[in-house]
Amino acid sequence: MDLRRALTWLGLLIGAAGLGLQFAISMQALLASGRDLPGALGHFFSYYTILNNIAVVLVYLSALTAWGWLAPFRTPLVRGIVAANIALVGLYVFFVLRFLQSLEGLFVLADSLLHYVAPVVYVLWWAITQRHGLLRWAKLPVMIVPTLVYFFYAMARGAWVQEYPYPILNAAKLGYAQVGINALYMTAFLAALALAVIAADMLLARTSRTVSP
């Protein structure tokens, strides 16, 4: 097994283990707190971290299999989008969210896998294994769209069930004006990360001589 395939398998196992562990302990806690199954599932899948780690796992699967339905996850654009978004997950948790929550037991392990280990491994995987030189500056708006879709989904769900996945999105507490300002800050941060991914793609293409025709 070569290094690239080994790194792909490593990333897949880390992502699957983190998601599986987080799902098991979260669903147990949510159901024990009195939620019904649909409510618990809705809560679990409302988190940006969970959705992005699922995307990471799908990218790895697309690299290891020939399944046709994973074709979008083989494109340089989607893999670049995932790199920017999973980096945002790790950086936001490290610099902001970890100071606002206190975790214990297996929740600490799941948190570390999904917020720190998985993002680092994916970015390294993307840098080492991909054919670079295929991203363009003009793709920046497209790279932000998935997160904007998530934002509107989280806000619509929050207005419906009065529950928000992250403190910066809590319109019931902060008001929609402040949430809008928070969203602008996060969009700017994501845009900076997406630009960094595009720049890294171009730089890696020059150093590895893998620029596309």
Q: pLDDT for 83-119, tens place per residue?
A: 999 999 999 999 988 888 888 899 999 999 999 999 9
- Of the pLDDT bands very low, low, confident and very high (cuts 50, 70, 90), residue 65 is very high
- Supply the pLDDT for residue 100: 83
Q: What is the mean pLDDT of residues 33-45?
A: 96
Domain annotation covers residue 16: yes
- Supply the pLDDT for residue 99: 84
**Quick one: which H or E segment has residue 141?**
helix 140-161
Domain annotation covers residue 213: no
**Which residue bears the tokens 């992502």?**
15
Domain annotation covers residue 184: yes
Indicate the DSSP class of residue 163. Answer: -
- Supply the pLDDT for residue 98: 85
Q: What is the mean pLDDT of residues 126-145?
A: 96
Q: Retrieve residue 17's tokens.
A: 């283990």
Q: Retrieve residue 8's tokens.
A: 């792909």
| 210 pLDDT more than 60 | no
Is 183 within 8 Å of 151 (Cβ atoms)? yes
Phi-psi category of residue 105: left, alpha or beta, with phi > 0 → left and psi -120 to 50 → alpha: left
| 213 pLDDT more than 70 | no
- Supply the pLDDT for residue 212: 40
- Supply the pLDDT for residue 3: 84
Please state the pTM of the whole predicted model. Answer: 0.94
Domain annotation covers residue 182: yes
Structural domain for 145, as ranges: 3-208
Domain annotation covers residue 50: yes
Q: How far apart are CA 83 and CA 183, in angstroms?
A: 20
CA angle 144, 84, 103 (to 5 degrees): 110
Query: How many domains does the chain divide into?
Result: 1
Is 152 within 8 Å of 57 (Cβ atoms)? no
